[in-house]
Amino acid sequence: MDYPGFIFTYWKKEQQVFRKNLAILKQHPGKDAVHDIRVSIKKLRAALQLYVFISGEPLWEYPLQETEKFFSILGKQRDIEICLALLTAFENETGKKFAELNHYFQSLLVIAHKWTRQAVNVYKKKELGAISLMLKENGLTLTQEELRNKITGVINNNLVNSRIFYKQPHKLRQYLKEIYYWIKIIQEPLQVEIDYEKDLHHILDDFGSWQDHQVFEIKIKHFRKDYLPKLFPEYALLKILEAAVKEKKEKLLKDAFSKTNRLLRKVTEKEKLQEN
């Protein structure tokens, strides 16, 4: 295999996943296709960024602008679907029913489905094709060993630098997710194992769940304060639900930061050993 041609190979594979789910969404805005196409966009984004790091050539104009807009619109549907799933989980856990909140989310989902269909119908795939051509025609000639050393350094440096996002957990999650995808991209073609994959997987699970509960809490509070009459019995129940969601969210965030700190200590210690 030519290097870094493996990024082009990975890009083409994820581009196919994107096209498959785009075709599904044209038929029906189902939650599985929305989830899968958003994941494929995250992977494509990570592959492009990895190429930029390898080539050392900055992108003067971000080539995924329309795809990012598409991603954002689909995120509206994804958020509501997550809220409905969490609501069901809390109802099962507490034995209480939140009929008004459920109805509110269901009405939002109808609107989100409409937005998804509109976004799917107007989205153009030219961006992905243009990037695919750029990756195919890249003039980089690096050996497997050179790439292995370069990318390992990029991963380690970016992990250590992730501390700058400690006050922005959402951005920290995005940053670590991209590094996680880089590890997945390089392992097979470069025949290298990165020690941090499992650690990152557990961290991202916590951050992902924290993000879901964060969105859930915001939407509950918005519905209770701005829509639900105070005289309704569910008003008091929702205050209890908010408190439970907040407690769960804070625990997830604490666990995520604890695991992140342990990982960064591991990375720093390993770098020191290699220097000596």
pTM value > 0.85: yes
> Distances in Å between the alpha carbon of 246 and those of 95, 240, 253, 260?
19, 10, 11, 21
Average pLDDT of span 197-220: 97
Per-residue model confidence (pLDDT) at position 58: 72
- Give pLDDT tens digits for 224-247: 999 999 999 999 999 999 999 999
- Residue 23: the pLDDT is 94
The Cα–Cα gap between 181 and 51 comes to 13
In this predicted structure, the answer to whether residue 272 has a pLDDT above a threshold of 90 is: no
| More confident call, 67 vs 271 | 67
Using alpha carbons, list the distances in angstroms from residue 10 to 65, 130, 143. Answer: 20, 15, 18
Asked whether residue 138 carries a pLDDT value surpassing 80, the answer given is: no
pLDDT in tens, 154-191: 898 999 999 999 999 999 999 999 999 999 998 877 77
203-to-197, 241, 264, 270 alpha-carbon distances in Å? 10, 25, 12, 19
- What local confidence, expressed as pLDDT, does residue 57 receive? 73
Please tell me the predicted confidence (pLDDT) of residue 269.
Answer: 85
3-state SS, one letter per residue, for the chain? CCCCHHHHHHHHHHHHHHHHHHHHHHHCCCHHHHHHHHHHHHHHHHHHHHHHHHHCCCCCCCCCHHHHHHHHHHHHHHHHHHHHHHHHHHHHHHCCCCHHHHHHHHHHHHHHHHHHHHHHHHCCCHHHHHHHHHHHCCCCCCCHHHHHHHHHHHHHHHHHHHHHHCCCHHHHHHHHHHHHHHHHHHHHHHCCCCCCHHHHHHHHHHHHHHHHHHHHHHHHHHHHHHCCCCCCHHHHHHHHHHHHHHHHHHHHHHHHHHHHHHHHHHHHHHHHHHHC
